[in-house]
Structure 1
């Protein structure tokens, strides 16, 4: 990351992509009558929307740079928190949906952790630490949901 503004643009885009993907997955589950999975993905979309708003609020006085989709250089082909599209499987159960969401949150955590580990900018380090900690909380929350369901 070259600047705080660039970091914040990535953070906002990452959460925005998560919202869109979880909404797509919720709609696919709804279309196939899978209410439990639809509700879970809708809840994840809601949480991601809250995180997106938090990322935007953290921008404060920063003006985010204008970036097109091609300007974002993600570790893989798409934003780390964009849950795998195979989640549109109409036969998916809640456990599988949670594992898919867990994988997305883990990728988000790894993205921020990588920024934290590689940046030399002290302001980016502080923000990356906050985002890394927040993603770790999301991972732990989903892991607890999975354990409760398994019990």
Structure 2
């Protein structure tokens, strides 16, 4: 039986408002020990910001992290999947668009999770190196009470 996205996704994704500074977004990522945050406006998904975005689109372009907002450099209109979509659909979407993560939204637009390459690798091959890394990170996160 094919699994659904909600069975493998990370629930309660970390979000920041679109007018959050790059410096604050970086602190949020550091404190949550994650490499991305979802950018929202009034609770609606507006983009995704990765640690790579901070470096390549922010620091490397000499933007002031205290003055530049995440909306200035985040990827806008990210592709999403639904919680009841098949995992195979998420894998196909990630493969076709060379993505490492997909926000998960309900049909009404409620942001309910994020599915990552690590989540999918744990599903596909629990013994793979990527799955081991993802499982260790999840265990560490659980130990910290997240």
TM-score by length of 1: 0.27
Higher helix share: 1
The TM-score, its normalising length taken from structure 2, stands at 0.28
